[in-house]
Each structure stands twice: as C-alpha cells, then as structure tokens.
Structure 1
C-alpha cells in the first residue's frame, strides 16, 4: 500500500504511524533530475513582466494554469448563506476570550458548516486573526467542554497541541476554525456525492468535471467563506487575517491565499507535494504516489502529469508567487523527507523575484538555513527539528512573524 494512503489513514485516526514507502521513492539528492523551472516573470507570450503587467494579466494567467492542471476551477456561483449563533460565552478560557459558535447554512437546501471563533478579551481594538481548518472536529482543538461536539470518534482536545489556542489568544490574536470533514469528507474512493460539491452541480451532474475542483479546492473555498463571516465580526480586524494549514490543509491554505487576496498572510506547515514543495525535484512524494489514494484532492486533469512533472505548465514556486506581495511563511521538518523540505525552501526562494519586484525583501540571496534557525523576511521559512507536525515552536515563529508583518508591533 502506498505510504501516502497510509499517512492519510494515520491523519484520519490521529496516529503518527507511517507505513512502507513506494519502492521508487527518491531520497537521494544525487538522483534529483536536472530541471528548469518556469519563470513566473515571463508570460505565456514570452514577454518579461513588471509589477503593472503582473497585476494586469500575468497573475491571472498563472492562477488559470493552476486551475487547469492542478487544483481545478472553483465555482464562481454565490450561494445564499445564513449565520446562526449556536452558542456564545464572553468568559471563555478562564476569562481570556469570547467563544462564539456559528452554524453557517449554505444554499437553498441548506448545508451546514459549524464555525468556532475565539476572540481575545481586554484588547482596545479589533484583533487580527488566524483561520484554519482542523482535521477531526472543532471539539478537538481545545479541551474546552463547551465546544459543540458533532461526533464521538475523536476525543475532546485531542489536537490541542496543533492549535496552541491559549498562546495565540494571549498574543492578542483571534482564532477561527472549522472541521475538514464538514466541507469535504475526505474519503478514499470518494464520489463527491456529499460535502459542498453537490451545492454547485448543474442538472444531471454527479461529480466534478476534469477541470473542476477537488477536495483542496473545496477546503480553500471554505476558508474564504470563513473570512466572509469574520468580515461581519466587529471584534476582528478582517484586513489582518492570516490563513494557516498543516499538511493537506497547508496545501489548502496556499490555494486559498493564492485565490483570495483578502487574506493578509499565508502560512504553510509541512505541505509538501501539491503544496509548497517543487514538483520537478521528484524527491519524496510525487504525483503518481498520490493518484491512487488521494487523487480526489486535485482536479482530474492532474493525473496526466504522473511521472511527467517536467511537463507541468507551472511549479509550486509560482503558487507561492501568487501570494505576493503579502507575507508568506513556509515551514518544514527535518524528519519529514516525504514532504521534501529542501523543495519547500527552494520554492520559496524561487518565488522571491516576484516579491522583490514589489520591493519586498525575500529569500533570493538566502541559503537553506540550519534546523531551528528561522528566516523572517516578507517570506518566512524555517526547518524545525522533528516530525511531520505543527508544534509550539512552529506557532512561536508564526506569531512573531505576524507581529511584524501584519502590523501588530
């Protein structure tokens, strides 16, 4: 069984167990093929672009290529939405925060997604915020007994180490989260008959077309819909909202940040193949490793690039460049070779010319740092000692970065 599928099952169950990797997995730098990356600053007509041309047409050109070959097109249809406050407490977390739980109903045959929002108390102005999707239910992000629990598969507070909720609140940031499976169930052999996809089907349609969104597209869509709600909350400064994600949710955070310029900052934690790592390095996980167990994360067109990464019209440095000139943070872990830490760093480095075109300091002159030696320019990067996880150390870097990049200090 492919390791990507086993990792997928491990994340579903909350275990950290890893299985045997595919026989053709490459962890040898000497076997990384020679490759040439597409230049984000040369358009499809072969013309060099500056800031004006980037804004005028090149950015949309790159975005369209990702839609067509990687993530699929997200429907532009606007759904009716109704918000209902399910529960609220102004004295949550021992008085540190106000907890609000919101049921968001989408469409005419309403589909419900539950949002959990904590805002810090005792602040003098609207707070900046972090928005992210949790893996196993809102009740897993903290042991707070008042968080509504929609199922009993995962224990209350079982993912609290990934969220560091009280640390974030103490720093003056709000936190908003929603559960992965309420947006897209993320199941092997998925048929897209549940989740949010059917809300957008045309008559007679039962699954996305070859160039339409998969699960990553749906998760990214939901992150933007969460930001829609935060724009209605007076206690939150919606102009200072960072989108964050780990692993497949890191892929989703990057795609959300690329598509939605309202996100003021984007954080990718260990997002790997299909996230921050360069495809063309062919190191660790590759497209053909993903296609059997988790092809539904992407559009069906993505399958044609199995073992043909060099034929992709894009690579992931271009995805990161779509976030420019907004702050971007990419993080890796030393033991997470499957996600190709060097490929994640190089993608950030090769996105840097677009940032620098806008006068933003980035990573063009940087070498890959030693473990636990973060770089904080407009593009932040660190290689944390340890495994595939999001930890207190990671959050310390993201908060320090946000303090400077989103104007909280």
Structure 2
C-alpha cells in the first residue's frame, strides 16, 4: 500500500500524501508544489546526484567547477558606487546585503513574531572534565494566543561553571537539549529506588519473587561510580574545561527540519497556520531566530558574559549558525562547521551540492521560497541559474565582520564529503576578508583574490585574524577544531582559562 500511487487532477499522489491531505496537513511535496505555483515556476532542474553513474552526477572536476567565475563584488553598491569607508559599509552596504539575503535566500522574519518567555524547568549538578557545573533545562514558551492550535516551546540546556569568579563566555550550540552528564543516585538513593521498583513489580506479579530470590545481587538501579561518565559530546567537555558556558539549543523545538512542518513550529505560528509567501523565512532563519531569543535570555543571567556569546553548528546547523551571526550582530563569534551549500560554499560553484539540491522538495524548507527561482528551468520569468543571484556566499560571511568568524571543515577521506566543496568554501572565506580589513580587523592574511586561492594543506591554522580558517583531518564534525577555536577565541576576547 505504501508504494501505491494515484493520479488526481494532474498530480501524482502517494498514500502518505493523501493521508496528510485528509488530515489537513500538506506534505513536503505539496508545500513545494504550492510555492512553485506562487512563483510561476513550471519546471525545476534536478539537483546534482551523489551517484557517480547518474546522468546528473555531481561534478568533482576542478576544471569544470567555475562556470560563473565572476562573483558579485563585495564592496560595490547595487548602483555601482564603491564602498570605501567603514561608515558607508555600516550605513549603506551592509543593510543592502541584509535586505537581498532576506528577500532572495533565507527569508524575512515577520514583524509580529510572538514573544518568548523563558523559565528554568529543572537543574542538575554535574561534573564535566573534572569540574563542577550547574546544568539547567530551559523552556522558552512562545505566546501562541493568536493560534492556540500551534504550540511552540523552545528547549535548551544551559551548562555553567559552578563557582566561577565572574561572568563567563558562552557558546550556543545547535544540538539536542539534554543533560550532558546526568547526575546519578548515591548508594542510599539507589537502594531506595531499587527496593521501590521491586516492590511495585511484585505487587503486579508476585511470581517474580522467585526470580529476585535466585539473583540476590541484581539491582535495577546502581549507585553512581567515580570518576563520572564522560559527556555525550566531547566538545562540551573542552568548553567547560576552558571555563566557558555552553547552551545546547534544540532546533526541532523551534521549527521542524521538514517541509511538511512549515505550518507548524514558529513559522506556522507566525503565519497562523497559513502557507508561506515567497519572501518569508525558512527553517535556517527560524533556527537563527531561536538562537537570538536564547541570547535575549542569556543576557539576563549574571553568570553570563553577554558581550561574549557565540553560536556554533555543523552541516545544516553550520548554515544556521552563519545565518544567526550574520543577521544578529550581538553574537560576538561564530564557529561554522562543514556548512556546504546554503552556508559558506559559493552558489556559483559547480562542485558537489548545488542550488538545485536545496531548491528541491527535500530541502526547500530551509530557504525562502524565492530561492527556488534560481533552479527554475521554465517559468513566467524564464530560466534562472545561480549566476542570476544578486548575492553570493562570501557576502553572507562578510555580514559577520568585524566580529569573530571561524570556518571549519574536515576531509573527505574521513567523511566530510567533497559534496561540501571545501575548496570553494575557502575561496569564499578569502573573498569575504575584504569586509574585515575595511572595518579595521584582520582577515586570513592570504589576500582576497578568490579565483587564485588554493586550499591550504590540511591542518594549516589561519588564526591570526578575526576571520579564521582551519581544515582538520577528521570527518563531518568540528570537534577536532574545538581546541583551536578556543585558543583563538580566548586570545581575541581576553579570556583566561581556569587553572
């Protein structure tokens, strides 16, 4: 039944699509088709395939990687004027770029998004990297009175050093919100819990007494041991050991990573359950909005150095981290891990993932609806490609300037696929550096000629400037770069790790 298809009114439908339609919730394919109709698109080009034998296999030939070698000039206004001063950047060029990225790529946040009220749901005293911390489960309740059928409760886990002498820098990480090293019961607590569980089971099934008698040493609940278990994420341990706080922000509680969820989550709530219009925000922008709302809350905590809060993410969360830092200048730093297309990778590069991949039904929800135009083969406005985009990835990265930005990648051999275009992302980082130097900061120190930029050897740490790059020898993670990020960020913000 699951594979059955029906043709209704010219549309090819699956059982899942019909079930969703019957429940009043459009599927991802239906939302995608509806956006195409809004835009007047009649056909999209297919995305590049990861199958090397496919007719549309992704290109990995460097000789074919730059069909559109001329990118928009970072320091030229749309009317042709050159940007020559920091004041002109701040007053004219940056707002111009922000408006273009909002309208064409990531989408605008509606002006009337409901407010968020944060509360501490629970707290746990833990030991991480041999240091005592206080971990708290936070809930950010979004006012849903305008659409009560669409509840949104943002979840995050805040981990702060216990007994710090003053406010500490904090890195917000897009990750599941859970306690890193949950505390365990001591011997007396474990004995009570075990006895209670056994008594409850015996009450339901007295015959279990023979099993318990045969295994007198068995316990459902064991007391905590020493040393404590390592955290689920080693990056958290490194941050805590360096004297930082960590906030784990669960993007699924902000907006689902699914095109079928666009009428729920914060996007659906802001739209009162209606469909998006082409210029409205996608999931990447929504996740960034959620990070900004968590930053609002962190600024109220005396334990947090609100002037030095950063944002981090890997893969799709790397894209979201860039989006958060680019649009919200309160973020002091960003660690962008393996972001690929829609992140630091240039849209105009024909290498690995393409604009057409993100414009397809599986990923379109990340972006503004207008993004689909640049994968259109036919439509009321004709054919468009990435070359028609008014902006490019280096300009998005430049919106972070002159703040701290660390671009991280791994290597294909370890799992950070060529699909992500490490070379192209390095080119974009080089090109973005002009914004840092214009604003009196330092870039990679490798010049700004992106067309001549060659990926440096793996492990080369370009960390002297406020814009930084390092490709580690690991896979699809920024974990191996976390020690380098911390040393770099500590030096830039004047943070001293505890002894």
Specify if TM > 0.5. yes
Q: Is the 8 A contact 1:107 1:199 kept in 2?
A: no
Aligned partners of 1:79, 1:295: CA distance in 2, in Å? 24
Larger RCO of the pair (alpha carbons < 8 Å, separation 6+): 2
Q: Which runs of 5+ in 1 are unaligned?
A: 1-17, 147-156
**CA, structure 1 residues 89+102, in 2 after alignment: closer, same or farther (shift >3 Å)?**
same
Superposed displacement of residue 123, structure 1: 2.3
1:305 aligns with 2:374: yes
2:93 counterpart SS class: helix
Q: Which moved more, 1:299-308 or 1:65-74?
A: 299-308
Q: Aligned match of 1:48 in 78, 82, 98?
A: 82
User: Is residue 410–residue 478 contact of structure 2 (8 Å, CA) maintained in 1?
Assistant: no
Alignment of 1:241-390 (within 5 A): 241-292=309-360, 293-306=362-375, 308-335=385-412, 336-363=417-444, 365=446, 368-376=455-463, 377-390=465-478
> 1:87 aligns to what SS in structure 2?
strand
Instruction: Map 1:75-114 to 2 at 5 A.
Output: 75-93=110-128, 96-109=132-145, 111-114=152-155
Q: Which residue of 2 aligns with 1:142?
A: 180
2:173 alignment partner in structure 1 = 132
> How much does 1:92 deviate?
4.7
Distance in 1 separating the partners of 2:77 and 2:389: 15
4+ long deviations beyond 6 Å:
none
Task: Find the counterpart in structure 1 of residue 239 from structure 2.
Answer: 168
Distance in 1 between residues matched to 2:276 and 2:371, nearest whole Å: 13
TM-superposed CA distance for 1:278, in Å, is: 1.0
Counterpart of 1:58 in 2: which secondary structure? helix
Distance 2:144 2:251 in 1: 22
Secondary structure of the residue aligned to 1:279 is: coil
CA pair 231-125 structure 1, distance change in 2 beyond 3 A: same
Q: How far did residue 227 of structure 1 move?
A: 0.3
Residue 129 of structure 1 and its aligned partner are, at CA, apart by 0.7
Conserved 8 A contact 1:332-1:344: no
**Normalization by structure 1: what TM-score?**
0.86
For residues 189-208 of structure 1, what are the structure 2 equivalents within 5 Å?
A: 189-201=259-271, 206-208=274-276
TM-score (norm 2): 0.71
- Provide Cα deviations, 1:98-135, integer angstroms capped at 9, x if missing partner: 1111111111435211121001123211000100211x
Tell me how far 1:256 sits from its aligned partner. 0.7
Q: Aligned-pair distance for 1:191? A: 4.4
Give the deviation of 1:159 after TM superposition.
9.1
Q: Counterpart in 2 of 1:11?
A: none
Deviations 1:66-116 (A, max 9, x none): 111110111232523322211123455465211111111111435211121
Higher Rg: 2
Q: Show the counterpart of 2:248.
A: 177
Q: Matched residues in 1 for 2:143 and 2:93: separation? A: 34
CA contact (8 A) 1:278 1:317 kept: yes
1:10 corresponds in structure 2 to none
CA pair 186-34 structure 1, distance change in 2 beyond 3 A = closer
For 1:345 and 1:232, how far apart are their aligned partners in 2? 37
